[in-house]
């Protein structure tokens, strides 16, 4: 008898074969599409960086000073349609509308800046994607006057004259850094009190008199403590791979916090870090202060801008450090000493 169609078993076999082919082919196709889009993105970024280089050749006033790690930024709109930088007008036309369409998602435009940095006796040009403006850290990375420095230094404020002042809980603080989770870390701009670390000569921060003061008396006095996120800090010993940490609402500067604030390339834990360091100004004018880091049976401190060690029963200045939740907002100010940011 002549057959006029496929049997059920044959149909099922065909479906299974097609499904197997789909399982093999579709991921490969998706991989090719993804790779193609990434290649297009990288080529586009190279075009934008080249355009920024050309713009700076023709408008040298946009370039940062010829000092190692000095940097500045150029907006994409400036490359496209022109802008005014340092009071001087740039015409634009270095890229076109197609160059700012994100090839990874053609419904969106690229949203970033070109970071120009002077290093090793030459200028480098690197595209930096902008972070979310819905977080306090993202807002600062996009709007702070030091955003070029922040972009070049993983969110750390560096230098001797930094506009990183903020009003928090009725007092003036300085923004130390923007963390990877878009929280920000603050250090108080003046001491809250003078204390000995611990009269029993213990170097353990968890058991110290300072910890009790900071996380009970001082923390409870803050009017905006609802914005504080508990933070884990490395307490030492100095030079270790963070062998001991402590999590609290309020802490102190660590030695790394202090050295990272300096833009002196010779600065490290064993070298004076006074130069190019806004944190050293406080210690010079107000006396020595404790850090949160211990070394052997002594505590690291900052004295006259230099890291040194003292016995735990020594009475020194205490400057609190807190981390602010990413959901907090900058509600005003410019970050300058006479017009600090306000947090709400």
Across residues 209-218, what is the average pLDDT? 93
Say which residues have a Cβ less than 8 Å from residue 73's Cβ, sequence separation at least 6.
113, 114, 115, 116, 128, 147, 148, 151
- Percent of the chain whose pLDDT exceeds 90: 31
The three-point CA angle 136-168-305 to 5° equals 95
Say which residues have a Cβ less than 8 Å from residue 125's Cβ, sequence separation at least 6.
49, 50, 52, 53, 56, 114, 115, 116
Q: Which stretch of 69-78, 108-117, 125-134, 179-188 has the lowest confidence by average pLDDT? A: 125-134
Q: Which two tokens stand for residue 220?
A: 């409870």
Q: Give 219 or 26, the one with higher predicted confidence.
A: 219
pLDDT tens digits, residue range 24-59?
777 767 777 778 888 888 999 999 999 999 999 999
pLDDT tens digits, residue range 309-340?
999 999 999 999 999 998 888 888 889 888 89
- Percent of the chain whose pLDDT exceeds 70: 90
Determine the Cα–Cα distance for residues 92 and 82; give it in Å rounded to an integer.
4
Q: What is the 3 state secondary structure string of 264-320?
A: CCCCECCECCCCCEHHHHHHHHHCCEEEEEEECCEEEEEECCEEEEECCCCEEEECC
Nearest to 74 by CA among 108, 98, 45, 49: 49
- Using the predicted structure, report yes or no on whether residue 178 has a pLDDT greater than 90: yes
- Average of per-residue pLDDT values in the chain: 84
- Using the predicted structure, report yes or no on whether residue 23 has a pLDDT greater than 50: yes
For 169, half-sphere exposure in the C-beta direction (CA atoms, 13 angstrom radius) is 22
Determine the Cα–Cα distance for residues 25 and 304; give it in Å rounded to an integer.
67
Across residues 146-164, what is the average pLDDT? 89
pLDDT recorded at residue 294 = 87
Determine the Cα–Cα distance for residues 26 and 268; give it in Å rounded to an integer.
52
Does residue 237 have a cis bond before it (omega within 30 degrees)? yes
pLDDT confidence tier of residue 203, bands split at 50, 70 and 90: confident
- Using the predicted structure, report yes or no on whether residue 131 has a pLDDT greater than 60: no
Nearest to 212 by CA among 191, 232, 196: 196
Ramachandran assignment for 236, one of left (phi > 0), alpha (psi -120 to 50 degrees), beta (any other): left
Which of the given ranges, 105-109, 128-132, 168-172, 336-340, has the highest pLDDT on average? 168-172
- Using the predicted structure, report yes or no on whether residue 147 has a pLDDT greater than 60: yes
pLDDT tens digits, residue range 112-123?
778 888 888 899
Which residue in the block uniquely carries the two structure tokens 């634009």?
Answer: 92
Question: Nearest 5°: phi and psi at 341?
Answer: -60, 150
pLDDT recorded at residue 218 = 95
pLDDT confidence tier of residue 269, bands split at 50, 70 and 90: low
| Domain range list for the chain | 33-130, 165-343
pLDDT confidence tier of residue 285, bands split at 50, 70 and 90: low
Across residues 268-277, what is the average pLDDT? 75
pLDDT confidence tier of residue 163, bands split at 50, 70 and 90: very high
């Amino acid at each position: 008898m002549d057959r006029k169609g496929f049997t059920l078993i044959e149909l099922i076999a065909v479906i299974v074969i097609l499904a197997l082919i789909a399982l093999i082919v579709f991921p490969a196709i998706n991989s090719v599409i993804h790779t193609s889009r990434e290649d297009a993105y990288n080529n586009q970024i190279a075009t934008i960086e080249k355009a920024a280089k050309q713009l700076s050749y023709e408008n040298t006033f946009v370039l940062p000073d010829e000092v190692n790690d000095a940097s500045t930024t150029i907006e994409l709109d400036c490359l496209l349609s022109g802008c005014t930088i340092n009071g001087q007008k740039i015409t634009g036309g270095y890229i076109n509308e197609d160059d700012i369409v994100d090839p990874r998602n053609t419904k969106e435009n690229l949203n970033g800046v070109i970071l120009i940095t002077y290093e090793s006796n030459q200028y480098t040009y690197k595209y930096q994607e902008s972070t979310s403006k819905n977080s306090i850290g993202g807002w600062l990375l996009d709007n702070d006057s030091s955003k070029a420095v922040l972009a070049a230094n993983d969110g750390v404020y560096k230098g001797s004259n930094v506009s990183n002042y903020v009003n928090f809980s009725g007092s003036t603080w300085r923004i130390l850094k923007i963390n990877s989770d878009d929280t920000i870390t603050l250090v108080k701009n003046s001491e809250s009190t003078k204390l000995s670390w611990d009269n029993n000569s213990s170097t353990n921060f968890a058991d110290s008199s300072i910890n009790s003061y900071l996380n009970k008396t001082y923390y409870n006095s803050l009017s905006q403590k609802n914005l504080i996120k508990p933070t884990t800090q490395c307490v030492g010993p100095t030079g270790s791979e963070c062998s001991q940490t402590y999590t609290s609402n309020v802490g102190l500067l660590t030695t790394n916090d202090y050295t990272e604030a300096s833009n002196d390339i010779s600065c490290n834990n064993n070298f004076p870090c006074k130069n190019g360091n806004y944190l050293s100004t406080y210690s010079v004018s107000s006396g020595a202060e404790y850090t949160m880091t211990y070394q052997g049976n002594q505590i690291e401190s900052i004295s006259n801008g230099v890291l040194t060690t003292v016995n735990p029963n020594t009475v020194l200045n205490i400057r609190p450090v807190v981390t602010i939740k990413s959901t907090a907002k900058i509600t005003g100010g410019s970050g300058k000493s006479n017009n600090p940011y306000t947090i709400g």
